Amino acid sequence: MRNYQCYLAFIFAIEEINRNPHLLPNTSLGFDLYHVQRGEWDFLSYVFHMLTEMGRIIPNYTCRMENKTVALLTGPSWKTSAHIGRLLNLYKYPQVMDVAFSFGTYAAILSDRSQFSSVYQTALTDTSLALGIASLMIHYSWTWVGLFLVDNQKGAHILSYLTEEFSRNRVCVAFVKMMPENLLSFHSEHKGNIELMRSTSVNVVFIYDDAESLHCLMLYSTYIFYTWKVWVMNSQCDVSNNDDAFIFDLLHGSLFYAHHHDEISDFKKFVQTYSPYKYPEDHHLSCFWHKFFNCSLSLPDGKISGNCLPNASLELLPSNLWEMDMTEETYNIYNSVYAVAHSLHEMIVKQVQMPAHGNGMLNVHPWELHRFLNKIHFKNGAGHHLVLDSPMNLNEEYDIINFWNFPKGLQQKIKVGTFSPQAPQGQQLLLSDHMIQWAIGFTELPRSVCSENCVPGFRKSPQEGKAICCYDCTQCPDNEISNDTDMDNCVKCPETHYANTQQNHCLQKDVTFLSYEDPLGMALSCIALGCSIFTVCVLGVFVKHHHTPIVKANNRGLTYTLLITLTFCFLCPLLFIGRQNKVTCILQQSTFAILFTVALSTVLAKTVTVVLAFKVTVPGRMVRWLMISRAPNFIIPICTLIQLGLCGVWLSISPPFVDPDAHSEHGHIIIVCNKGSTVAFYCVLGYLCFLALGSYSMAYLSMNLPDTFNEAKLLAFSMLMFFSVWVTFLPVYHSTKGKVMVAMEISSILASSAGLLGCIFAPKCYIILLRPDKNSLHFIKKEAQISKLQLNPCVS
């Protein structure tokens, strides 16, 4: 029936050309039709018979007197076309040189002009089929695919194209089964095919076959289709006309890729009116009328004699036997006939324009047709421009057909999409997903994957020794995300973002700092303000009692300087609290360094004063001059200037700067100040420790000197506490980050300042406020006498 439709297209094209007054005027096309067997010698013998018109085959001779054949249409088999093409190439005499047209699927070997100079192909290539199949797989996320391919040159070509496209689009081939052209060999392997299909996890299989093979039918008959798969096929692999007794058609839901062609509008009308009464010489048609419409046949001529079903037509034949629309093969036949007709027309016009030869009759020599065929271009009945052996014919476009046949007998081929390789990227494949009916057994969109998709938050981890489509899912590392399925690698979040719990999205980090609203910041600022106020109160007590002996005994000027400096030392941590900027970062470190330098140099000056006070009793003008000139007070500006120099070098080389800390606290960016030059910072801190060590040494030397209000012991203990605070600070400071690190530095400043205030001034305040009896001249004289007796017992 498929070949018979090709025959009808052949007749339709010839009649249409003969009715056209503008194409081959005053000339009619005729034809000979040969039903060739599949054997090689059979179709070669028919070719010889056609060339010689003799009962005996005598090459290079012909008995044709007129109406010579100028072209052959060799049928859908590329092998038949190849054998006939080689035979025509053997002829050395130009008078019998004919032209062969192959209208089946495109075969690359037939385009080789060195072997087949007389063969032309009107079929389109399948070079874009692999891209179309790969696009379909990507569209439905089918990454695990099986292949059944015919084992010949065309199968090898399509396998090469498929492998390249699948590799480019990350689609994996689970298995490749090459179907031998020898059907007996194929049939012997059907059990292995069944086991292969039942054991594999593949749900999508692509089958590629050519027009002359019965492999698709063999696959169907060997029950491979009972494994419930999605079948994707080329247009030649069509077993939709197969019939059986089952209500379930296991090809239902299959997808076919068919070369797109425009419909020839008059072809369907021609088929509808094609009947034995109009074409009585067509004995096949009479057999159809007898079988399907109960017509009587007259013997022996086999013509219809009557008793037919009224209005009988080929259109009424069962849909599983007959298809009214023009197929790809019939469309190619139609174009082949028109290509010959247009070439003949051009050749005749050329001869008419030349002086007549002999009796003035037109001579049509077949070999002359080549130069016209090589240049011919025309528009067919569908409005499509055709150029033989031109790249224009390589721009194939595919219709995607969904086969509906449930229940059995429905036999509907529904166009559900198109594939056009010339379309822009992303628009090549157009599908109407809602129109597709899937194979029986699938209640939703089929899946065909080796491994399930890795959800967002996970990445693919390849399985060793397996295809790239087979993988394990591994969770993304910390602060990395994957926001799509099946990602090969996780993406690290920017410094300003952090990964959410599911690790599929980066969230903006909150900018935070040790603020006054923060409980820790609020507590530290309250302590700093409270301590500074308390220091001011202490200063007020000393100012109020400035005439008392305890205040006078320890250098009131240095005492006032130390208390004022400690007041600012307690306020210094306020620079560390709040959002930092470049100015505050520089101020907090330099202010801390200068204030503590003043405080420690003041303590050093007080210890030096105590030592010199006891040395003044020893004869020596230098000691007396130092006491009278108050030289110890110059220790403060000198030490401060040294520290200012260190801070100047620090700020000029690598000053402190704002450093957003994105790592210390999850989900937060902490604004802190970076020290800049770590060496400079430790130099400044080391200088403070050097002053504290000097003060401690001087105080330690004078702590046993007899004096009623000798504060050397208090100064030594305060320096010891200062050392303890900052020695503890260093390891803790380096082990903390973020706000805790800032709070640690503030705590160290407050603790060391409180140590100086408490150790030096707490005992004095106790005496001033609670034991005023000890803060009198009488008590001082009495204590002085006791001290003399302790120094010189012989005096008593």
Domain containing residue 584: CATH number: 1.20.1070
Q: Point out the domain boundary residue: 446, 480, 508.
A: 508
Whole-number pLDDT of residue 703: 63
Same domain, yes or no: 37 and 153: no
| Cα torsion angle, 680, 681, 684, 690, sign | negative
What is d(CA 325, CA 475) in angstroms, rounded to the nearest whole number? 55
Same domain, yes or no: 205 and 349: no
Q: Please state, in angstroms and as integers, the Cα–Cα distance from residue 126 to each residue in 239, 285, 386, 398, 736, following that order.
A: 20, 34, 17, 10, 68
Cβ contact 691:598 at 8 Å: no
User: Letter for the amino acid at 443?
Assistant: T
Same domain, yes or no: 427 and 501: no
What is d(CA 716, CA 722) in angstroms, rounded to the nearest whole number? 10
What is d(CA 92, CA 168) in angstroms, rounded to the nearest whole number? 49
Note whether residue 59 is domain-resident. Answer: yes
Q: Which of 674, 661, 673 lies closest to 510, judged by CA?
A: 661
SS3 content of the chain, % helix, strand, coil (to 5): 50, 15, 40
Cross-strand bridge partners of residue 297: 304
Whole-number pLDDT of residue 361: 52
Task: Determine the 3-state secondary structure of 278 from DSSP.
Answer: coil
Burial class (CB in 10 A: 0-12, 13-18, 19+), 566: buried
What is d(CA 221, CA 244) in angstroms, rounded to the nearest whole number? 10
Classify the phi-psi angles of 253: left when phi > 0, otherwise alpha if psi is within -120 to 50, otherwise beta: left
Same domain, yes or no: 179 and 204: yes
Cross-strand bridge partners of residue 197: none
Structure tokens at 324: 């009214």
Largest Cα separation within the chain, whole Å, is 176
Same domain, yes or no: 119 and 14: yes
Note whether residue 684 is domain-resident. Answer: yes
Q: Which of 250, 256, 206 lies closest to 227, judged by CA?
A: 250
Same domain, yes or no: 7 and 113: yes
- Provide the CA 711 distance to its chain's centre, in angstroms: 76
Work out the end-to-end distance of the chain between its first and last CA atoms, rounded to an integer number of angstroms: 150
Burial letters 72-95, b for 16+ CB under 10 A, else e: bbbbbbbbbbbbbbebbbebeeee
Same domain, yes or no: 648 and 534: yes
Note whether residue 197 is domain-resident. Answer: yes
Bridge-based pairing of strands 119-121 and 144-150 is unpaired
Domain count for the chain: 4
Q: Which of 439, 450, 442, 444 lies closest to 202, judged by CA?
A: 450
| Cα torsion angle, 44, 48, 53, 58, sign | negative
Structure tokens at 537: 């109160």
Bridge-based pairing of strands 412-419 and 296-298 is unpaired
- The secondary structure element, H or E, covering residue 8 is helix 2-19
What is d(CA 557, CA 551) in angstroms, rounded to the nearest whole number? 10
Structure tokens at 673: 């100040």
- Provide the CA 331 distance to its chain's centre, in angstroms: 42
Note whether residue 97 is domain-resident. Answer: yes
What is d(CA 162, CA 129) in angstroms, rounded to the nearest whole number? 8
Note whether residue 14 is domain-resident. Answer: yes
Q: Please state, in angstroms and as integers, the Cα–Cα distance from residue 208 to each residue in 141, 158, 419, following that order.
A: 21, 8, 17
Cross-strand bridge partners of residue 9: none
DSSP 8-state secondary structure symbol assigned to residue 674:
E
Task: Determine the 3-state secondary structure of 358 from DSSP.
Answer: coil
Task: Determine the 3-state secondary structure of 461 from DSSP.
Answer: strand
> Hey, how many other C-beta atoms are within 10 angstroms of the C-beta on 573?
28
Q: Which of 119, 408, 387, 404 lies closest to 256, judged by CA?
A: 404
Q: Which of 235, 192, 189 lies closest to 216, judged by CA?
A: 235
Whole-number pLDDT of residue 95: 27
Cross-strand bridge partners of residue 670: 512, 661
What is d(CA 292, CA 270) in angstroms, rounded to the nearest whole number? 20
Task: Give the CATH number of the domain where residue 165 resides.
Answer: 3.40.50.2300
Q: Please state, in angstroms and as integers, the Cα–Cα distance from residue 147 to each residue in 156, 205, 215, 403, 424, following that order.
A: 12, 6, 13, 20, 28
Query: In order along the chain (796 residues), what is the average pLDDT of each group of 10 residues?
Result: 84 92 87 70 67 61 62 72 69 38 59 69 79 93 90 85 91 87 61 72 85 56 62 71 54 85 86 86 83 79 74 79 80 87 86 61 69 80 71 70 77 89 89 89 86 91 88 92 90 90 90 87 92 93 86 81 92 90 89 91 82 57 53 82 92 89 81 87 88 82 59 80 83 80 89 89 86 70 55 46
Q: Point out the domain boundary residue: 354, 389, 424.
A: 389
DSSP 8-state secondary structure symbol assigned to residue 466:
S
Bridge-based pairing of strands 398-404 and 255-259 is antiparallel
Report the side by side order of strands in the sheet with 429-431.
172-179, 144-150, 204-208, 230-234, 255-259, 398-404, 412-419, 429-431
Same domain, yes or no: 105 and 236: no
Structure tokens at 390: 């031109």
Same domain, yes or no: 69 and 110: yes
Structure tokens at 456: 């967002």
Note whether residue 618 is domain-resident. Answer: yes
Whole-number pLDDT of residue 243: 52
Same domain, yes or no: 371 and 411: no
Burial class (CB in 10 A: 0-12, 13-18, 19+), 65: exposed
CB within 8 Å of 220: residues ≥ 6 apart: 239, 242, 250, 251
Structure tokens at 167: 């590799």
Same domain, yes or no: 137 and 237: yes
Note whether residue 687 is domain-resident. Answer: yes
Range of the domain at 495: 458-508
Bridge-based pairing of strands 429-431 and 412-419 is antiparallel
Same domain, yes or no: 26 and 160: no
Whole-number pLDDT of residue 136: 95
Helical spans, DSSP H, in 572-711: 582-615, 621-628, 635-653, 678-702
DSSP 8-state secondary structure symbol assigned to residue 386:
E
Cβ contact 272:314 at 8 Å: yes
CB within 8 Å of 135: residues ≥ 6 apart: 169, 419, 428, 429
What is d(CA 445, CA 786) in angstroms, rounded to the nearest whole number? 108
Q: Please state, in angstroms and as integers, the Cα–Cα distance from residue 189 to each residue in 115, 206, 224, following that order.
A: 35, 18, 11
Burial class (CB in 10 A: 0-12, 13-18, 19+), 19: exposed
User: Letter for the amino acid at 630?
Assistant: R
> Between the CA atoms of 497, 503, 505 and 506, what dihedral angle is there, to the nearest 10 degrees?
0
What is d(CA 448, CA 138) in angstroms, rounded to the nearest whole number? 11
Bridge-based pairing of strands 204-208 and 230-234 is parallel
Cβ contact 395:408 at 8 Å: no
CB within 8 Å of 408: residues ≥ 6 apart: 244, 246, 247, 248, 249
CB within 8 Å of 53: residues ≥ 6 apart: 62, 63, 64
Whole-number pLDDT of residue 97: 35
What is d(CA 744, CA 742) in angstroms, rounded to the nearest whole number? 5
Q: Which of 125, 323, 147 lies closest to 232, judged by CA?
A: 147
Note whether residue 78 is domain-resident. Answer: yes
